[in-house]
Amino acid sequence: MKHIESTSEQPCRILIADDEPLVCELMQFNLEKEGFEVDVFRNVDEAYQADLPNYNLFIIDVMMNDMMGMNFAHHLKQTKSTTSIPLIFCTACDGENDIINGLNSGADDYILKPFSMKEMIAH
């Protein structure tokens, strides 16, 4: 996976789009503890309103509002200003075809729920 970088003045910014509140709280707390700046969006419509080119990493759940996470990822990878920003799917969709489709859609990595936070940080 591509390494996320930040400037010396600002920490890496991560956008999380996931509709599970407890998962979001867990990721946000632990990633911020590691020094990342994290914004959480509980649905894709809100995430579309964010200043997307200013993030260093996107972590997206596939199964928001009937696969809207996959559509959001497709949009990010087709948009010139966000196409090079790394994207990780973090999802319970654990079938071989789900993983292959996620990676073929432009995701740089695919993490299965449930996951450990050590695993998340390592990715």
Identify the structural domains of the chain with CATH numbers, from first to last.
Answer: 13-122 (3.40.50.2300)
Q: Is residue 78 predicted with pLDDT exceeding 80? A: yes
Q: Which pLDDT band holds residue 8 (cuts at 50, 70, 90)?
A: low
Q: What is the per-residue pLDDT across 16-52, written as a single tens digit (0 to 9) for each?
A: 999 999 999 999 999 999 999 999 999 999 999 999 9
The answer to whether 95 and 77 have CB atoms below 8 angstroms apart is no
Considering only the C-alpha atoms of the chain, give the largest distance between any 2 of them, rounded to a whole number of Å: 41
pTM of the model: 0.89
DSSP state of 106: T
pLDDT value for 65: 73
Runs of H (alpha helix) within the chain? 21-33, 44-48, 68-78, 96-104, 117-122
Q: Which helix (H) or strand (E) holds 72?
A: helix 68-78
The answer to whether 84 and 106 have CB atoms below 8 angstroms apart is no
pLDDT value for 10: 80
Q: Is residue 120 predicted with pLDDT exceeding 50? A: yes
